[in-house]
Structure 1
Amino acid sequence: PLAGRILFIDDDPAGREVALFNLRKAGYEVTAAEDGAGGLSAFASSPFDLVVTDLKMPGIPGMDVLRKIRAGSPDVPVLVITAFGNVETAVAAMKEGAYDFIGKPFHRDQLLLAVSKALDRRRLASEVRALRIRASGVGRDVVSVSAAMRRLLEVADRVAATSATVLITGESGTGKEVLARRIHVRSLRAEGPFVAVNCAAIPAELLESELFGHARGAFTGAVRDRAGRFRQASGGTLFLDEVAEIPPSLQGKLLRALQERVVDALGGDAPVPVDVRILAATNRDLPSRIRDGSFREDLYYRLNVVELAVAPLRERPDDIPPLVQRFVSEFAGGREITVHAAVVAELSTRPWPGNVRELKNACERMVILCRGDEVSLDDLPPAPRPSGERAAEDASASFPPLPAEGLSLVDLEKQVIERALRMKGGNITQAALFLRIPRHILVYRIGKYGLRRDA
């Protein structure tokens, strides 16, 4: 395996070729650039573990290359090459954030040692950062195999490395907060706090103080200063869930906080600067809210720098099997519980109006009701049915009065199954859901009565 990906920027062709030969022979994957502009272009188009750059180059000098890389990717070490004995330039580079410097001309072993130390330090820093993030409990795995979710996660991961404000949209229960946490964990702010606020769960009269804070004595009951969620999230990420529920009277203040990066605490003397990234989420149609005047258009465009739309679970059934496995394992508490293939197939056909949250609750119920070490169809919760389907059932279930001479319950059951199969186009799974019985029982009844699926 390669030891690391290196970008080597030097306008000296002979020196560059010798360095590339030695680095590649040592097992590194190296990309070369002959000037600062070419180096920055290569860095923007591909990830690197280390940048080695000469300082004195035509066009964009090495010091500007150093500054731009440090500004956009502070976790990538930059090793600078400077003329032998030019101590002042080397010191200036170190002050700008260079990891180390090598004086020209340099020997092979000197270059390889400096590169090895820089990469080791980056790996160590990455491991420490990962441990800190894991210890914070912020990260949540996004379980997905569907093409739609994989594409969404690819975009989310690219956005995570920037400071852009993100608006996450989708139905309730689709996992918008899980996606927000993933963006935070993969951002440069991952070691900072992740502060989540459910704007719909806080009374309107308290939301201003909750978000922006208040000074002591600002109102009755304000016995001490309160920082507010914006300042609590300083250096990290503020997640505004159900942002559409923020009352219009507060939307202007939120817009100012986003534009000016300051907050005005209730009763405070002066605006307080904040360093925070905003992620927002909603299950509402914000454009329609804008049209009816309940949401500010300028705030919408400030929040919607990048929109990530999370598809409902019914549009990505491929994600249901791995989600079921994850949730069952989570609720099993160490027990070895197997989920029968028929159960997974059944769950994959349901519409899940409550999305991932509803599926998770269903899995918890299955684990609780499971009698042995295998979840069966009998352990499934009854499937919710749309109102239109309930109406259809009511119409189909309109039978004439019971005859005085009696009737055959077997014939009646057979007729009901026939009508349910016709209504569902011969789909046994859907017919079983309609009749509120396990699928295997319906299959048994169909065989018992010699019925066809298109009865």
Structure 2
Amino acid sequence: MTQHKIWVIDDDRAMRWVLEKTFKEEGFDVTSYEEAQSALDHLTDTQPDVILTDIRMPGMDGLNFLSKVKNSFPDLPVIIMTAHSDLESAVSSYQTGAFEYLPKPFDIDEALALVNRAILHITKLQQQESAKVPVAPPSTEIIGESPAMQEVFRAIGRLSQSHITVLINGESGTGKELVAHALHRHSPRSSKPFIALNMAAIPKDLIETELFGHEKGAFTGANTQRQGRFEQANGGTLFLDEIGDMPFDTQTRLLRVLADGEFYRVGGHIPVKVNVRIVAATHQDLERLVQSGKFREDLYHRLNVIRIHIPKLAHRSEDIPKLAEHFLARAAKELAVSPKILKAETKDYLKQLPWPGNVRQLENTCRWLTVMITGREIYPEDLPTELRQIPLQQRGLETTPLTNTSISFHTQSTNPNTTSHMQANVHSDMQSHAGNHTWDQLLEQWALEKLQNGEMKILEVAAPMFEKTLILAALNQTRGRKRHAAELLGWGRNTLTRKMKELGMDSSDDED
């Protein structure tokens, strides 16, 4: 049996050791390099089956190395690893020819699966050239280091050489148009127009004119011929936002354009040919609209070739501090003032909020803070009243309960490929005694159920969650003042700081 050769390039010694150990245990022939130039020099003598390389290293970086490898060995799979995960590095990796993009930290089994897939790919690969499209400088940055946003970046990178139709779904305010812009900007059509039309913002009787244009005299007031959005976007991308609000009759016309690549202006008799990439977006459940007869099933399947889901802000809470800092800096620049600085406890508080308006609501909040707060630093009590008055049970993702709420415990199982979700609905009845059970009786019931299911170490799951819940409640009651929160909990300030560090909470020792 052939022993496949794997090269690992990373200036992080610990990362090289872990990967080398794992791959050798799986029977691979592994060679490690701490810098890319050495690996490149050895490529003239021997070639591995797969290369894993970090993106940021002293000397030659991973993307430069990848480019040189692809110039000489276009079919050699190269997996890019990086701890600096952003849209530009993901797109650049794919466009330069990366087989896959692996953001750190990653599960070692994920790296192993990618290597196996790369080997399978190389054994079946037919000769083909790596197309290279220069990356246009971004006009608008998408910020996100959360796993959910990394999947979005990966999808944009995968589609960077494609003209395929894309459907973006996500709640209002999540940034669907930003993703549509990124898809266009990193596509072969980037030099052509990007035209956007919001179906929900146009009166229904004007949508067809907006899309397809009209001839002179087509209706009262049509004094001249007018191009529609399809003609304006010819050669480029047409972004149809809130596609679920498109009238049924217009859906029929759109379907014909997608099928034939031509249409008639309103009042016209000569077909107009166009070459347009469609990117559609919606916050609605199109499948449900199809079932209710409000959306054409054939159009749905035409649009739903590739789907990108944009997570709501509450599901990517780790991105909130960077997003807030970005919006504060932008607002300060627009208003020609110094940018505000978020205190650590304010960042923690913002991460707990539900953000029903998603990124748009966060951006508006940062504008409000820039205008309304006189001090340079922003404390939790400086936030708008409606954000400070959100009940505890509405914060986060079913966490931080005190009364009539629920907790979801998420624990990593011993098998890294599976995640055990231990859920407990712990309803406090300190006042109402819901269902004639106290919270400790319900906790006992939960514990018995988990033990009967064979789950182990449940105390290691439950205890930190309850401690974190009480700490967050005390911090909320004292509006982030740690000394007062410690007093409420019966602890000293140092004890609270130590507990917060143990629980992975921000424990910056700022002055109260």
Q: TM-score, normalised by structure 2?
A: 0.55
**Alignment match, 1:360:** 363
Deviation at 1:221, TM superposition (A): 1.1
Residues 249-284 of structure 1: CA deviation (Å, up to 9, x unaligned): 110001011111112210111210011111000000
The structure 2 residue matched to 1:447, chosen from 470, 487, 491, is 487
- Map 1:83-98; keep pairs closer than 5 Å: none
Question: For residues 354 and 30 of structure 1, what CA distance do their matches in structure 2 show?
Answer: 44
**Alignment match, 2:160:** 160
Q: Are residues 228 and 427 of structure 1, via their aligned partners in 2, closer, same or farther at CA, if it must alter by over 3 Å?
A: farther
Contact 1:428/1:439 (<8 A) preserved? no
Q: Are residues 42 and 288 of structure 1, via their aligned partners in 2, closer, same or farther at CA, if it must alter by over 3 Å?
A: same
Question: For residues 451 and 29 of structure 1, what CA distance do their matches in structure 2 show?
Answer: 59
Letter matched to residue 438 of structure 1: R
Question: For residues 308 and 29 of structure 1, what CA distance do their matches in structure 2 show?
Answer: 31
Question: For residues 235 and 158 of structure 2, what CA distance do their matches in structure 1 show?
Answer: 20
- Map 1:165-314; keep pairs closer than 5 Å: 165-314=165-314
Letter matched to residue 481 of structure 2: H
The structure 2 residue matched to 1:379, chosen from 359, 379, 382, is 382
Contact 2:339/2:370 (<8 A) preserved? no
Question: For residues 299 and 30 of structure 1, what CA distance do their matches in structure 2 show?
Answer: 39
Deviation at 1:370, TM superposition (A): 2.3
**Alignment match, 1:351:** 354
The structure 2 residue matched to 1:338, chosen from 324, 341, 350, is 341
Query: Any idea what SS the aligned residue of 1:200 has?
Result: helix
**Alignment match, 1:403:** none
Question: For residues 337 and 387 of structure 1, what CA distance do their matches in structure 2 show?
Answer: 26
Letter matched to residue 174 of structure 2: T
Q: Percent identity?
A: 36
C-alpha RMSD of matched pairs (Å): 4.0
Deviation at 1:448, TM superposition (A): 6.8
Contact 2:392/2:473 (<8 A) preserved? no
Query: Any idea what SS the aligned residue of 1:308 has?
Result: strand
Q: Are residues 307 and 191 of structure 1, via their aligned partners in 2, closer, same or farther at CA, if it must alter by over 3 Å?
A: same
Q: Are residues 43 and 349 of structure 1, via their aligned partners in 2, closer, same or farther at CA, if it must alter by over 3 Å?
A: closer
Q: What count of residue pairs does the alignment treat as equivalent?
A: 322
Question: For residues 30 and 349 of structure 1, what CA distance do their matches in structure 2 show?
Answer: 45
Question: For residues 372 and 228 of structure 2, what CA distance do their matches in structure 1 show?
Answer: 44
Q: Which runs of 5+ in 2 are unaligned?
A: 1-35, 41-66, 80-93, 98-125, 396-400, 405-429, 433-437, 440-464, 497-512
**Alignment match, 1:325:** 325
Deviation at 1:162, TM superposition (A): 0.2
Letter matched to residue 293 of structure 2: G
Contact 2:327/2:367 (<8 A) preserved? yes
Contact 1:242/1:282 (<8 A) preserved? yes
Deviation at 1:362, TM superposition (A): 1.1
Q: Which range is displaced more, 168-177 or 152-161?
A: 152-161
- Map 1:4-15; keep pairs closer than 5 Å: none
Q: Are residues 306 and 44 of structure 1, via their aligned partners in 2, closer, same or farther at CA, if it must alter by over 3 Å?
A: farther
Query: Any idea what SS the aligned residue of 1:223 has?
Result: coil
Q: Are residues 309 and 47 of structure 1, via their aligned partners in 2, closer, same or farther at CA, if it must alter by over 3 Å?
A: closer
Deviation at 1:238, TM superposition (A): 0.5
Question: For residues 250 and 172 of structure 1, what CA distance do their matches in structure 2 show?
Answer: 23
- Map 1:112-151; keep pairs closer than 5 Å: 126=134, 130=136, 139-151=139-151
Question: For residues 324 and 339 of structure 2, what CA distance do their matches in structure 1 show?
Answer: 14
Q: Are residues 364 and 212 of structure 1, via their aligned partners in 2, closer, same or farther at CA, if it must alter by over 3 Å?
A: same
Residues 8-61 of structure 1: CA deviation (Å, up to 9, x unaligned): xxxxxxxxxxxxxxxxxxx9546668xxxxx7x679998669xxxxxxxxxxxx
Structure whose alpha-carbon radius of gyration is higher:
1
Question: For residues 450 and 341 of structure 1, what CA distance do their matches in structure 2 show?
Answer: 23
Deviation at 1:363, TM superposition (A): 1.2
